[in-house]
Amino acid sequence: MYGAIHLLQSGKSRAGSTFTGLINLFSTVSAPQRLAGKVAVITGAASGIGEATAKEFIRNGAKVILADVQDDLGRAVAAELGPDASYTRCDVRDEAQVAAAVDLAVARYGRLDIMYNNAGIPSSTQAPVASLDVADFDRVMAVNARAVVLGVKHAARAMVPRRSGSILCTASAAGVVGNAVPHSYSISKAAAIGVVRSVAGELARHGVRINAISPHGIPTPLAMRGFGDVFPWASPDEVRRIIVSDINEMEGTTLEVEDIANAAVYLASDEAKYVTGHNLLVDGGFTVGKRLDVQA
């Protein structure tokens, strides 16, 4: 900055060269890295919100282990992100694989600073509760709720002894308001929020924070499948329109995966050092606005 002021004050350079010097000076100044030196594990990181968050974490200085079951896609994303990213297969329904992902971070980098329990699946059935498909319910709960508990358990195992760490869990606006999506999905996301609230006090006494992020609809592969089941009459283009436009309460803008990634960066960073037990809604006001009401 002082160099820039000096260039402005100096009469020895012509205006053009002074301007060029200013541009060159500021182009070498990088933005602060909010997660510099931190180590993260992200489940469901091969696509959608997980992929966007992995990119943003690395841009902010973190080292990231991408955990997923989409092997080819996960390896490709890790290769694209460079040496600070690596991929490991992790079926979050299997406790041993969740534990192994945490152990990999500790073995490779000496610690785990951030655990983002992001993996999720949609419900495949939309039916009244009296006709609830219990097999589908169990399948969705295994990934969207039980796996969150496993991620929290093993993250705590690594973080509590160090008395430091941030655990994040992807919930949903559907876990806050009812009657919008299939019951299995809505219940599973409400359970994820419940996990956060249940353990936040215990973990706080060990210096570990835990928070949820609840997005509204984004046309990720997961959401496209889920909303496609909710609106079986709709074509893929119509499903995308419903997500992006019809249920969007925020005039003039739409929700993108990068918005969730930015929320995750904040909650994972030291800027949120006193924030725990919180469910951060990123929904453009949907949960305090009108209910989901889409016509064919």
Torsion of CA 174, 176, 177, 181, to 10 degrees: 20
Would you call 185 a catalytic residue per the annotation? yes
For residue 191, which of 162, 156, 157, 152 has the smallest C-alpha distance? 152
Cα–Cα distance for residue pair 182/84, rounded to 1 Å:
38
244 within 8 A of 286, measured Cβ to Cβ = no
Q: At what angle do helices 257-268 and 48-59 cross, to 10 degrees?
A: 50
Q: HSE of 113 in the Cβ direction (CA atoms, 13 Å)?
A: 21
Helix intervals (H) in 67-220: 71-81, 95-109, 134-141, 147-159, 183-204
CA-CA-CA-CA torsion sign (281, 284, 285, 290): negative
Which H/E stretch holds residue 208? strand 208-215
For residue 192, which of 222, 213, 218, 163 has the smallest C-alpha distance? 213
Tokens standing for residue 55: 């990119």
Indicate which residue of 2, 87, 116, 185 is catalytic: 185
Q: 165-170 and 279-282: which strand pairing?
A: unpaired
Cα–Cα distance for residue pair 18/21, rounded to 1 Å:
5
Active site members = 185
